[in-house]
Amino acid sequence: MAVLEISNLKKTYNEESDFPVRAVNDVDLIIEKGEFTAIVGPSGSGKSTLLNIMGGLDHPTAGKVIIDGNDISELRENQLIDFRLHHIGFVFQSYNLIPVLTARENVSFVMVLQKTPKQERDHRASSLLTEVGLGDRMDSRPSELSGGQQQRVAIARALASRPDFILADEPTANLDSKSAGHLMDIMLKLNREEHMTFVFSTHDSRVIERARRVITLVDGKIVSDIQQNAS
């Protein structure tokens, strides 16, 4: 079952100038439920732009992005905000945790926005933090956690809304090898045991080696799409 369908997608910057930049250039792509996919390519290839359009964080110049039967490229901004809240989870390389909130409160925040009852969100936040190995750090604030621990909080937060899929933009970029490996193991476990769909934008070999599908972009175009046996 497809969770994301992209057709004839284009994103052009400086479109009216003499030197337009075609960051995404006529991309067609289907992501099926349960995939563990890496989008790779050299700097400036368009992978982060593509990921941002997938997540409704950027608008395409042309084309369609279908999620749960909705073309999100046609949604108004307020509709898009609500759609992201209920359908898409995000993990960023900079973590983007709220400094004054504890780990549990950071994970609960998206459920507060969804108007989930307090008892339910407290239970889910605690369960998710335990699942990512932070059962003993629920009341710690981001400044009291290592980079790897903060990124694990970010994964738990992304899962909290029960999204259709999770988009992760360079999630290991700021982590040492041990933390990055542990983080990838956690996401693989969630993928295998809970069939959670992950799509990564990355240049990190540690992510690429674990991916089961590797899509390569060059100059905004897909030049290869390979299924592989992940480690």
Which pLDDT belongs to residue 93?
86
Asked: is 2-227 a CATH 3.40.50.300 domain? The reply is yes
- Phi, psi (deg, nearest 5) at residue 201: -105, 125
Which pLDDT belongs to residue 174?
87
Given a cut of 90, whether residue 230 has pLDDT beyond it is: no
What are the tens digits of pLDDT across the range 156-205? Answer: 999 999 999 999 999 998 888 889 999 999 999 999 998 999 999 999 99
Given a cut of 60, whether residue 231 has pLDDT beyond it is: no
> Are the CB atoms for 79 and 35 separated by under 8 Å?
no
Could you tell me which residues are beta bridge partners of residue 79? none
What are the tens digits of pLDDT across the range 8-60? Answer: 999 999 877 878 889 999 999 999 999 999 999 998 899 999 999 999 999 99
Position 94 confidence tier, pLDDT thresholds 50, 70, 90: confident
What are the tens digits of pLDDT across the range 117-167? Answer: 999 999 999 999 999 999 999 999 999 999 999 999 999 999 999 999 999
- Phi, psi (deg, nearest 5) at residue 9: -80, 130
Q: What is the token pair recorded at 129?
A: 């933090």
Domain ranges of the chain: 2-227
Rounded to a whole number of angstroms, the CA Rg of the chain reads: 18
